[in-house]
């Protein structure tokens, strides 16, 4: 766990609300996952579950929270500006209680010039999520194979912006980038990637595991990460 995530792990009102929601099996509760192709989870999982589907299996299947509905509005190629512009039909229309946001991999194509726009987009999306009464959960994207994706070499700067926005807004935060690099500082484990920047089925398992552990609803009988990450 990074120092930032330690600080954010304190019992904020939103964390307490998440605990309450996760203990409620009778009220219809909607979760929205939004982002780019990593969230959309198509193609690169080779027919296996995406991280959103793994989360749904845990929440609706293993925990029997049948009245919880998990909605995926990730769209391949999207940037933070797309989510901000499409807030009404990608988030608000579902009247969610929880909104998970993972962006930055495509924004990194804009280099240094896009950093402040990215910051503004994330901050506005978090503000509007709270304004409709939902709990936002902000996530960094996982690291990429920079050698084979040089146009996204600035991703680490965008990850840092995500961390800064998480700290300034005191949002619930999942730092996938820090987790992956802690286990593999020389670069993302090839066994977790389908190509230079899309997680494969193993990578999606690791993403889901991190989200569920942050929510304290992971299966504690399963290792923190699968052997492929070692």
Strands, E, within the chain: which ranges? Answer: 29-35, 68-72, 98-102, 135-140, 172-175
The predicted structure's pLDDT at residue 226? 53
What is the crossing angle of helices 176-183 and 201-214, to 10°? 120
Which of 167, 8, 14, 218 has the alpha carbon at shortest distance from 97?
14
| Cα–Cα distance measured from residue 78 to residue 60, given in angstroms and rounded to the nearest whole number | 28
The whole-model pTM stands at 0.91
pLDDT, averaged across the chain: 92
Averaged pLDDT for residues 23-50:
94
| Cα–Cα distance measured from residue 148 to residue 145, given in angstroms and rounded to the nearest whole number | 6
The predicted structure's pLDDT at residue 2? 43
Averaged pLDDT for residues 189-213:
94
Neighbouring residues of 43: CB distance < 8 A, sequence distance ≥ 6: 194, 198
């Amino acid at each position: 766990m990074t120092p930032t995530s330690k600080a954010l792990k304190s019992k904020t009102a939103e964390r307490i609300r998440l605990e309450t929601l996760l203990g409620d099996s009778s009220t219809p509760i909607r979760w929205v996952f939004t982002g780019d192709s990593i969230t959309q989870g198509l193609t690169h999982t080779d027919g296996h579950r995406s991280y959103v589907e793994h989360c749904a299996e845990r929440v609706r299947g293993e925990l029997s929270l049948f009245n919880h509905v998990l909605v995926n509005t990730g769209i391949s190629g999207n940037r933070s500006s797309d989510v901000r512009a499409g807030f009404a039909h990608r988030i608000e229309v579902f009247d969610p209680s929880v909104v998970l946001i993972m962006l930055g991999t495509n924004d990194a194509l804009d280099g240094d010039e896009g950093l402040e726009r990215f910051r503004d987009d994330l901050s506005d999306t978090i503000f509007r999520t709270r304004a409709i009464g939902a709990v936002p959960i902000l996530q960094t994207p996982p690291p990429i194979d920079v050698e084979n994706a040089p146009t996204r070499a600035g991703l680490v700067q965008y990850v840092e912006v995500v961390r800064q926005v998480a700290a300034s807004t005191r949002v619930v935060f999942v730092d996938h980038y820090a987790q992956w690099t802690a286990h593999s500082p020389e670069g993302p484990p090839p066994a977790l990637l389908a190509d230079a920047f899309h997680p494969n089925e193993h990578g999606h398992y690791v993403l889901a595991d991190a989200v569920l552990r942050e929510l304290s609803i992971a299966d504690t009988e399963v290792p923190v990460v699968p052997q492929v990450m070692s």
